[in-house]
Amino acid sequence: MKIYSVKIIAACCGALIALSSLAACDFKAPSLVIGKESTTKAEFDEEAFRAEFERTSVPESEVSTAPDTLPASESTLPAEEGTTGAEGETQEESASAAESLSETASEVATSLTQAVTKVTTTKKTVVDTKIDKKETKSEYKYGVKKIDVVSTYYDIYSDGSKVQTDKKTYTKYDYSGYKAATGDLKAEAGTNQVKYATQTAAAVAAVNAVRTAQGKEPLSVDSSLSTAANVRAVEMAYSGKVGSTRPNKSGYSTVLTELGFSVSKPMELTCKGYSDGASAVGAVKSGAGIDRMTDGNYKKIGVGAAANPEGTIYWSIFFSE
């Protein structure tokens, strides 16, 4: 653009100089003026004038080479700081907007990368389960241990973490340490005799119903047998041992001797897990039990019941002549 401007200015200046010269010479080339006071038409040398005019004029080739419109890149001068563009924004504002847009795009790309990374790293699956069990033991009675249990359940994930899914608490008892003398059990046996009076009375009635059906005389309740039966029920409830052998390995009849009772030919039937006397009798009369229960030599009966700490009821039924 600078080259074209110089050429145009030069051409204009040349033309002005030529016109000025002609004007000063009454539009006649200075070199053609004859040194006379006046010049006539006949004296004017036209060819010499044209040659002089062309010599002092700017060549058309130089003028015609200038483009009609300037290149887009040179059509305007560089905008100075603070000038306004075509859409009303300064170059500073345009640059600031471009920079802000670039920063926003960068932030979006960073956030997207972080989100993808987070999803990828946080995706995990359950690979196993685990139970953490905590037991707290304490003395209960007769050597029995009370055990409070807290079980916490977890899901184990592929990244090694664990999440609690459930928690359960319960109490159980350890009867393996049972150790009590007959005298230690008398108090609780007496309490149970009153507590389970209705159930034991139903058991006596059920036995006598079986005897009557077979033509045998009903049995009468004996206090000594009832006490012994209740002691045996407590003994079985806290030791967990049901049968004719006591926890101390002696036979069932030794409880009568230890209580100071003299009984002729005692016999015992035992069972557990029945909440009423009739059901208990129905359990013990099966097999050989029915023969003992209906033995014509027996005249007396005593029934005892006791529940262990977990609620299971143990039964003892004594017969004697």
99-151 per-position pLDDT tens digit: 777 677 777 677 766 765 555 555 789 999 999 999 999 999 999 999 999 99
- Of the pLDDT bands very low, low, confident and very high (cuts 50, 70, 90), residue 193 is very high
Tell me the torsion sign for CA atoms 235, 240, 245, 249. negative
The answer to whether the beta carbons of residues 52 and 45 sit under 8 Å apart is no
Q: Which residue has the higher pLDDT, 52 or 221?
A: 221
What CA–CA distance (Å, rounded) separates 175 from 307?
A: 13
Q: For residue 318, what pLDDT is reported?
A: 97
Q: For residue 93, what pLDDT is reported?
A: 65
Q: For residue 32, what pLDDT is reported?
A: 40
What CA–CA distance (Å, rounded) separates 302 from 55?
A: 160
The answer to whether the beta carbons of residues 284 and 269 sit under 8 Å apart is yes
What CA–CA distance (Å, rounded) separates 72 from 85?
A: 15
pLDDT at residue 314 tops 90: yes
Q: Which residue has the higher pLDDT, 171 or 55?
A: 171
Beta strands in the chain (DSSP E): 126-139, 145-157, 162-174, 220-221, 267-272, 300-307, 313-320
What is the average pLDDT value for the chain, to the nearest integer?
80
Least confident of 65-79, 98-112, 114-128, 204-218: 65-79
Q: Extract the tokens encoding 201.
A: 């009375």
Among residues of the chain, what percentage have pLDDT more than 70?
65
Tell me the torsion sign for CA atoms 164, 165, 171, 174. negative
Q: For residue 31, what pLDDT is reported?
A: 42
What CA–CA distance (Å, rounded) separates 319 from 225?
A: 7
What CA–CA distance (Å, rounded) separates 250 from 178?
A: 15
What CA–CA distance (Å, rounded) separates 224 from 186?
A: 12
Q: Which residue has the higher pLDDT, 93 or 252?
A: 252
